[in-house]
Amino acid sequence: MKRTTICAALVLAAITSSAVAASHSGFAVVDSDGTLVRGSNGTSASNQGTGAYEVLFANTVRQCVFTASTGSAGSNGQNFPGFVTVAAREGNIRGVYVTTYDIAGNPADFAFHLNVRC
Amino acid sequence: MHLRRIIVSAIVIGGCALTLSAASASASSSLNSVRSGKFTVLPAPGPSVSLTAVVAANATLKRGNGATAVSQPDGIGTYEVDFTNDVTACAYVATLGEPASKGFLPAGFITVVSRFGTPQGVYVATYAKNGQLKNLPFHVDVGC
């Protein structure tokens, strides 16, 4: 019994550490019109209205962390400061819902970079 | 009696080792299966490159992973962060923040973009809350 308990604990630790190793699970760089400029395999994006975007990944992202920054998708062009927020997409376990706002807090289309870590 | 304890201990250790080995193989297999798309319970691990940098307002590279240099190419509020790898196919996420566990940082904005002409570079711009460029410290995370 004692041996089983010890082995179970060690096995659990091994599985946990293996799971932790899968740290980065996807990314997307999306233009202000909702075009996916680059991203991990199986990713797509679309504009859902002014300042609202849906980014879909190959698999579920329900247990993941979403971080995003506003920023151009290319390597030139002027950036304008703005706000960005993220949320899991209602009704789609593979989706992230991104909203962008101008400096005054009004919804506005901005290009953005999104990282998903699971 | 002593020999018997040694034998029992060896069996227990061996048993655990075998169990652990099997579990490790199982976990590895499971992750591989996730990668191959056999299961959808866990998201498929994507590309795993993660480059990071923590930069002071004066463009000093404080810490990070794979960051090699920081400069201010266009003056106030602009930064170029260079990494060891080509980052043109990556996403950049940055947040205003102090490098150390002290200080109060006012609200502001930050934007990111690939550095034109430098495949290893990320161009970061920081702004005060009124939208004017301003030197501010930040953390940047590059995922590919």
- Sorting pLDDT into bands at 50, 70 and 90, what band is B10? very low
Answer whether residue A59 is part of any domain.
yes
Answer whether residue A107 is part of any domain.
yes
Structure tokens at B89: 């196919």
Answer whether residue A62 is part of any domain.
yes
Compute the CA torsion angle B86, B88, B90, B92 (nearest 10 deg). 100
In this structure, what are the phi and psi dihedrals at residue B106, rounded to the nearest 5 degrees?
A: -65, 160
Cα–Cα distance list, A12 to A5, A15, B24 (Å):
11, 5, 10
Minimal CA separation from A115 to chain B, in Å: 6
Residues of A in contact with B123 (CB under 8 A): 75
What value does the mean pLDDT take over residues B111-140? 96
Q: Give A87-105 pLDDT, tens digit per residue.
A: 999 999 999 999 999 999 9
What value does the mean pLDDT take over residues A63-76? 91
The secondary structure element, H or E, covering residue A24 is strand A24-30
Say whether pLDDT at B17 is over 70: no
Q: Is A85 on the interface with B (CB under 8 A)?
A: no
Gap between the Cα atoms of A106 and A100, Å rounded: 8
Burial tier of A51 (Cβ tally within 10 Å: 0-12, 13-18, 19+) = buried
Q: Give A41-67 pLDDT, tens digit per residue.
A: 899 999 999 999 999 999 999 989 999
Answer whether residue A11 is part of any domain.
no
Compute the CA torsion angle B54, B58, B60, B63 (nearest 10 deg). -20
Q: Is A75 on the interface with B (CB under 8 A)?
A: yes
Answer whether residue A12 is part of any domain.
no
Range of the domain at A73: 23-117
Looking at the 3D structure of chain A, how many domains does it have? 1
The secondary structure element, H or E, covering residue A112 is strand A112-117
Answer whether residue A14 is part of any domain.
no
Answer whether residue A2 is part of any domain.
no
Say whether pLDDT at B3 is over 60: no
What value does the mean pLDDT take over residues B74-82? 97
Task: Give the model's pLDDT for residue B100.
Answer: 87
Answer whether residue A10 is part of any domain.
no
Minimal CA separation from A49 to chain B, in Å: 22
Q: Give B26-42 pLDDT, tens digit per residue.
A: 333 333 333 333 333 34
Minimal CA separation from B51 to chain A, in Å: 11
- Sorting pLDDT into bands at 50, 70 and 90, what band is B118? very high
Tell me how many residue pairs between chain A and chain B have CB atoms under 8 A apart.
152
